[in-house]
């Protein structure tokens, strides 16, 4: 499960946003979901849905991440 803070059509935009978050001392990364043809920037990743919900709720308290949401990817 991933806590998503941005979704982009192109890799350069996702990479730029992720790099900007990292410069602001947030640990973020990005990945591509082929089923949706979208690049996602995530700020947390865990294998436990309850932990993911907790992380999402924690980040939503910050104005910059108030629209954070969860993405579950089935492998």
Is 21 exposed, middle or buried (CB count within 10 Å of its CB: 0-12, 13-18, 19+)? buried
CB contact at 8 A, 24 and 62:
no
The pTM for the full model equals 0.94
Longest dimension (CA), the chain: 32
Residue-number span of the structural domain to which 65 is assigned: 2-71
Tally of domains within the chain: 1
Strands (E), 17-60: 29-33, 38-45
Distance from C-alpha of 40 to C-alpha of 57, rounded to nearest angstrom:
18
Instruction: Look up the CATH number of the domain holding residue 56.
Output: 3.30.70
pLDDT per position as a tens digit, 23-51: 999 999 999 999 999 999 999 999 999 99
> Please, how many CA atoms are within 13 Å of residue 45, restricted to the half-sphere of its CB?
9
């Amino acid at each position: 499960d991933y806590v998503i803070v941005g979704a982009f059509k192109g890799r350069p935009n996702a990479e730029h946003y992720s790099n900007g978050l990292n410069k602001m001392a947030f640990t973020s990364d990005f990945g591509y979901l082929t089923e949706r043809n979208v690049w996602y920037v995530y700020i947390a990743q865990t294998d436990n849905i309850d932990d993911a919900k907790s992380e999402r709720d924690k980040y939503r308290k910050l104005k910059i991440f108030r629209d954070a949401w969860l993405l579950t990817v089935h492998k």
